[in-house]
Amino acid sequence: MIELIGLSKKELEQELINIGEKPFRTKQLWQWLYFHGATDFDKMSNLSKDLREKLKQNFTITRPKVVNSQLSSDGTHKWLLEFSDGQRIEAVYIPEEDRGAVCISSQVGCAVGCKFCNTGTQKITRNLTTCEIISQFMTARDVYNDWTVKDRKLSNIVVMGMGEPLHNTDNMIKALQILTDPDGMAIGRRKITLSTSGIANKIVEIIKASGVKLAISLHAPNDEKRSQIMPINKKFPLDAVLKACQDYQKLEGSRYITFEYLMLKGFNDSLQDARELVSLMKKYKLGAKFNLIAFNPWEGCGYESSSKNTIRAFAAEIEKGGFEAPIRASRGQDILAACGQLKSKK
């Protein structure tokens, strides 16, 4: 049996040809899978009964198993999802006023091992397949019955769940291409943001292939501090990451890059740190916007979040330097669904 979710359009066409079908069926089937969100071949009403039988005999349409579902007091919804080999990840829906974003994972665990991140304490088990990446979003759409309705609630995607997406670049690119395909889910490229810890040699490749927005987890204004909290900085120091950002901006014209900056009490939150950040951005001439994130604690982390006043003063200093620096509200903390809190194993 061949799993249909996660095949590219070309691969789907080939599978149909392999069972003796005409290539034009590809678009019809694609629309059932990705526009209607069908999981049952019998619902595919514009396909003949014979064809539906043949599809059933050869193919599967799989969703992960929802093992646990938790709803936060602020509406944030977290799912623990299990794949066919028993591996588990978490995905989160973050509602805004009239729409919202689904935060999806790219790996089981993460090899980067950032000191402040709960996911990073869970060693890497494996990459997610293309099917597993997109089916997180598809499961969320199932839950909210958000497939063929007029004003979809689940309008945005952030690749900010478990794992480093650029350690799984090939499957990720394919997933983004399926999510943005105009005949299927048709999520706008600018409605998807991919966050990376800075795998410098993959940044341009994935943006070229997918066109989505880029966010970089910066978290420190210099190599010395960044290496202390993000071991990946030894392999890809700031210069490599920011040069890749320059290349990205050449490619994408005037687009801004979002730099995520975690506010860690007494570590990276001084006005001097803010000024260093501003000069770093000016040195590399980057069109940048900061997202200041209050640190979300988890058991055994050893860090504390900066106070609200410190964060406000830090934001003001960055804005004085000419860059936007909104403070990102933390969502779903009560169910450990906020940034850096996801984990699927004890």
> Which window, 79-87, 175-183, 185-193, 195-203, contacts ligand SAH (CB under 6 A)?
195-203
Q: Are 344 and 128 in contact (CB under 8 A)?
A: no
> Does 276 participate in catalysis according to the annotation?
no
Strand, coil or helix: what is 57? helix
CB 217 within 8 A of CB 238: no
With binding defined as CB under 6 A, does residue 295 bind ligand SAH? yes
With binding defined as CB under 6 A, does residue 114 bind ligand SF4?
A: yes
Tell me if 90 contacts ligand SF4 by CB under 6 A.
no
Residue 113 touches which member of ligand SF4, ligand SAH, none, C-beta under 5-8 Å by kind: ligand SF4
Q: Which of 242, 339, 343, 344 binds ligand SAH (CB under 6 A)?
A: 339
Residue 212: name the closest of 197, 190, 184 by CA: 190
**Per-residue x/- mask for ligand SAH, residues 149 to 168, rule CB under 6 A?**
-----------x---x----
Structural contact between residues 232 and 199, judged by C-beta atoms closer than 8 angstroms: yes
Which tokens in the block code for residue 306?
Answer: 């900066």
Single out the catalytic residue among 114, 117, 245, 339: 339
Residue 345 Cβ, how far from ligand SF4 at the closest point, in Å?
Answer: 14
**295: partner contacted, choices ligand SF4, ligand SAH, none (Cβ within 5-8 A by kind):** ligand SAH
The contact pattern for ligand SAH, residues 244-283, with x = CB under 6 A and - = no contact, is ----------------x-x---------------------
DSSP 174-240: HHHHHHH-TTTT---GGGEEEEES--GGGHHHHHHHH--EEEEE---SSHHHHHHH-THHHHS-HHH
The piece of 124-132, 168-176, 290-298, 317-325 that touches ligand SAH (CB under 6 A) is 290-298
Closest CA to 44 of 31, 26, 63, 58: 31
Task: Check 13, 90, 132, 317 and give the catalytic one.
Answer: 90
Query: Which x/- pattern over 178-207 shows residues binding ligand SF4 (rule: CB under 6 A)?
Result: -------------------x----------
Q: Is 116 in the site for ligand SAH (CB under 6 A)?
A: yes
Which helix (H) or strand (E) segment holds residue 141: the answer is helix 130-143
DSSP for 278-332? HHHHHHTT--EEEEEEE----TT----BPPHHHHHHHHHHHHHTT-B-PEEPP--
Is residue 131 annotated as a catalytic residue, yes or no? no
15 binds ligand SAH per the rule CB under 6 A: no
* Residues labelled as active-site residues: 90, 339
